[in-house]
């Protein structure tokens, strides 16, 4: 495939004419297929667009156009890489029946984990700055690129539905399923929040590897993966940071007994996010933050387990049981977060004495 792409890309992107290209697979994303494109010294990112997951590409284009307009008027301290136009002026290019997008290559480093709480704080500051900046975007003008993406209640119901007809319920799976179903109180808490939390434009996929740090790791150079940018709640963005940054091991680790939330990192994330927000937060939102990591960890766990039962139709896996293992990993993290909830509550109360 890479050879075909290298040959066909110049037909749609005139900037590639004349000199040969090389393509290599790139990054750790689970949804789109990403390649690094090289021509001489210059580099780009080419993304094979996942149409099974993103069935509304025009909604993404619509949202990104709103974003690009805003960033032109009010730049951020980091870049938001947007698709480059092809020879027809379009962001999406069709090659051999598939869709692709091309991006400028951002010089720097992506991390799969952090090496200090200070790094966590920097990452959270960037996402907090983004949320504060995005507060001025008209949330109602943004379209849902994946309907009900972070609706915890619907994800919970979906797992129950899929499990009820599954033929893959071994004893191991049953045990895990039971642990997930015991999380009903968190789902209830979440549904009670929906009417009181303000909707705002959030990133919705704030994994650590969706940031590009400068090569010296002293600052955040770019926030990437903007396809799920749409209306959401602040707790989604802080939550996915907690899930992916404050965990002792990555989400693919199978050393479940060693999976836990690192309190000093959670604290650094809360502080950094708070600093980035610089006051752009309501008391209700503040009160929701101690649950942020739990909600996002539960959502991902539910999704991994559902996908396992459905036969790995959504997430890319490298072995048959990987989604089951990811779901186990997320449950271990969730339990660790829950055992420390009061501690996180305390950290947040100290930032904002009005919150009880
Ligand atoms: C997916 O594409 P990637 O790997 O950045 C997923 C996120 C999950 C994540 C789990 C559109 O993100 O919601 O948190 O995998 N994105 C989509 O690692 O489903
Ligand atoms: Mg990604």
Question: pLDDT (tens digit, 9 = 90+) per residue, 246-288?
Answer: 999 999 999 999 999 999 999 999 999 999 999 999 999 999 9
Q: Where are the domains of the chain?
A: 2-104, 117-355
pLDDT of residue 354: 53
- The answer to whether 78 touches 127, Cβ cutoff 8 Å, is no
**Tokens standing for 124?**
């959270």
- The answer to whether 18 touches 42, Cβ cutoff 8 Å, is no
CA of 111 to the centre of ligand 2 (A): 11
Residue nearest to atom 17 of ligand 1 (CA): 31
- CB < 8 Å & 24+ apart, contacts of 254-258: 254/325, 254/328, 254/329, 256/328, 256/329, 256/332, 257/332
Lowest mean pLDDT among 18-22, 174-178, 202-206, 254-258: 18-22
For the residues 212-230, what does the mean pLDDT come to?
97
State how far the Cα of 173 lies from the Cα of 318, in Å rounded to an integer. Answer: 19
Choice from 27, 29, 31 to test ligand 1 binding pocket (greatest atom count within 8 A of CB): 31
Question: pLDDT (tens digit, 9 = 90+) per residue, 287-322?
Answer: 999 999 999 999 999 999 999 999 999 999 999 999
CA of 204 to the centre of ligand 1 (A): 9
Q: Which fold has domain 117-355?
A: Aminoglycoside 3'-phosphotransferase; Chain: A, domain 2 (3.90.1200)
CA of 183 to the centre of ligand 1 (A): 22
Cβ 228 under 6 angstroms from ligand 1: yes
Cβ 31 under 6 angstroms from ligand 1: yes
Nearest ligand 1 atom to the CA of 28 is 4
**Which residues partner with 33 through β-bridges?**
48
Question: pLDDT (tens digit, 9 = 90+) per residue, 117-159?
Answer: 999 999 999 999 999 999 999 999 999 999 999 999 999 999 9
Q: What is the pTM of this model?
A: 0.94
If DSSP codes are grouped into helix, strand and coil, which group holds residue 198?
Answer: coil
Q: Do the bridges between strand 211-213 and strand 93-95 make them parallel or antiparallel, or are there none, so unpaired?
A: unpaired
**Residue 2: which pLDDT band, with cuts at 50, 70 and 90?**
confident
Task: Give exposure, 53-62, as e/b (b: 16+ Cβ within 10 Å).
Answer: bbeebebbbe
The residue among 284, 286, 292, 285 whose CA lies nearest residue 266 is 292
- The answer to whether 322 touches 311, Cβ cutoff 8 Å, is no
Q: Do the bridges between strand 42-48 and strand 98-104 make them parallel or antiparallel, or are there none, so unpaired?
A: antiparallel
Q: Torsion over CA of 168, 169, 172 and 177, rounded to 10 degrees?
A: 120
Q: What is the DSSP string of 251-280?
A: TT---GGG--B-HHHHHHHHHHHHHHHTT-
**Tokens standing for 344?**
């996180």
Question: pLDDT (tens digit, 9 = 90+) per residue, 62-113?
Answer: 999 999 999 999 999 999 999 999 999 999 999 999 999 999 999 999 998 9
The residue among 265, 299, 290 whose CA lies nearest residue 344 is 290
| DSSP code, position 220 | E
State how far the Cα of 302 lies from the Cα of 344, in Å rounded to an integer. Answer: 23
Architecture of domain 2-104: 2-Layer Sandwich (3.30)
Residues of the chain with pLDDT > 90, as a percent, come to 90
Task: Give exposure, 256-277, as e/b (b: 16+ Cβ within 10 Å).
Answer: eeebbbbbebbbbbbbbbbbbb
**Tokens standing for 81?**
């890489």
Choice from 29, 30, 300 to test ligand 1 binding pocket (greatest atom count within 8 A of CB): 30
Q: Measure CA of the first residue to CA of the last residue in the chain; give whole Å.
A: 56
């Amino acid at each position: 495939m890479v050879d075909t792409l290298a040959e066909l890309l110049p037909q749609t992107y005139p900037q590639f004419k004349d000199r040969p290209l090389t393509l290599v697979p790139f990054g750790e994303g689970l949804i789109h297929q990403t390649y690094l494109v090289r021509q001489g010294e210059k580099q780009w990112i080419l993304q094979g667009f996942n149409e099974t997951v993103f069935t509304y590409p025009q909604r993404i284009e619509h949202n990104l156009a709103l974003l690009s307009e805003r960033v032109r008027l009010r730049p951020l301290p980091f870049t938001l890489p947007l698709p480059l136009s092809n020879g027809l002026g379009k962001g999406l290019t069709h090659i051999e029946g598939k869709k692709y997008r091309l991006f400028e290559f951002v010089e720097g480093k992506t991390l799969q984990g952090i090496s200090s709480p200070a790094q966590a704080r920097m990452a959270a500051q960037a996402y907090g700055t983004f949320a504060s900046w995005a507060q001025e975007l008209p949330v109602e003008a943004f379209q849902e690129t994946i309907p009900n993406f972070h609706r915890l209640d619907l994800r919970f119901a979906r797992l129950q539905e899929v499990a009820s007809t599954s033929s893959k319920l071994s004893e191991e799976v049953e045990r895990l399923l039971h642990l997930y179903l015991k999380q009903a109180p968190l789902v209830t808490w979440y549904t009670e929040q929906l009417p009181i939390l303000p909707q705002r434009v959030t990133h919705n996929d704030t994994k650590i590897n969706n940031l590009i740090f400068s090569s010296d790791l002293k600052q955040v150079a770019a926030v990437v993966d903007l396809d799920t940018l749409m209306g959401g709640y602040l707790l989604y963005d802080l939550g996915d940071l907690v899930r992916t940054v404050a965990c002792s091991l990555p989400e693919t680790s199978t050393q479940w007994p060693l999976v836990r939330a690192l309190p000093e990192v959670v604290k650094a994330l809360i502080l950094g996010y708070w600093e980035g927000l610089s006051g752009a937060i309501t008391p209700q939102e503040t009160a929701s933050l101690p649950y942020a990591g739990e909600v996002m960890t539960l959502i991902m766990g539910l999704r991994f387990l559902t996908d396992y039962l459905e036969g790995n139709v959504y997430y890319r896996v490298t072995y048959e049981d990987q989604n089951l293992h990811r779901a186990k990993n997320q449950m271990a993290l969730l339990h660790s977060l829950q055992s420390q909830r009061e501690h996180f509550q305390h950290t947040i109360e100290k930032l904002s004495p009005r919150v009880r």
